[in-house]
Amino acid sequence: MKSEQRHPPVPSRPHLVRRVAAEFVGTGLLVTVVVGSGIAAQQLSPGDVGLQLLENSLATALGLTVLILMLGQVSGAHFNPVVSIADWLIARRGEGGLPPRDLFAYLLAQIGGGVAGTVLAGVMFDIAPALSTTERATGGHLVGEVVATAGLVLLIFALARSGRSAVTAATVGAYIGAAYWFTSSTSFANPAVTIARMVTDTFAGIAPASVPPFILMQLIGGALGLALLLVFYPTASNGAGDVIVPPATPTEATV
């Protein structure tokens, strides 16, 4: 008599409300880290832009790593509209990934959370929200955003496709920390973060006029990263459900 073959249960996604809340809080705290550490760097190291950038990039790399570990099991820890859109697009080639009905909710949560994070950083340092006057949209900066975003998307999905999602938190944090230095734009690589940083006239700010071209280049970079992913990992849809952190146990059903 043949023995019955049993398969492990497939984990279901947490409830959409929980995932959206995690994206709101995670993106908000990420921006709080970016803006707050930028303000602290200005105050602690006045006149030394290089040291300010070092302090800002170190705090961001560590903070992002912690946030992915903290909330990855809930929402996947996207914290970035480009990552969510890429996950949704890859999922169209097979099973897994972000369902179409959830994408819009993720994007709204990320943008809203990012703006809330900027406000929170300002409150902690007694700095009122204000439109930034820091113009960043030079040709070199825009190329830097394409490079930074393409590398980020390729990294995240390559790790998922190759079954190494367990190291995503540390690896993504390290990449963003490094990209602060090897890109001229200091690697925004995130439309939600870009919009949020528009409303702080501090070290981390970006002028409103620079936001649309930055976001356009980030979307182009995301598309380039996906194209490279499909060249290097042509069956990328198999790992789409693991971005960024795969769920560990069965949870509530998606609605």
Contact 153, 86 (CB under 8 A): yes
Q: Across residues 19-44, what is the average pLDDT?
A: 98
CA dist., res. 102 & res. 90, Å (int):
14
**Looking at the predicted structure, is the pLDDT value of residue 97 above 90?**
no
Topology annotation, domain 16-235: Glycerol uptake facilitator protein (1.20.1080)
Q: Across residues 98-124, what is the average pLDDT?
A: 95
Looking at the whole model, is its pTM more than 0.75?
yes
Q: Across residues 77-93, what is the average pLDDT?
A: 91
Q: What separation in angstroms does the CA of 43 have from each of 36, 108, 131?
A: 11, 32, 20
- The CB density around residue 155, as the number of other CB atoms within 10 Å, is 18
Q: Can you give the residue ranges of every domain in the chain?
A: 16-235
- Mean pLDDT (the chain) is 89
Lowest average pLDDT, out of 90-94, 119-123, 163-167, goes to 90-94
- The CB density around residue 29, as the number of other CB atoms within 10 Å, is 24
Tokens 């006239």 belong to residue: 201
pLDDT in tens, 229-255: 999 998 766 555 555 654 444 333 333
* Phi, psi torsion values for 85, nearest 5 degrees: -65, -40
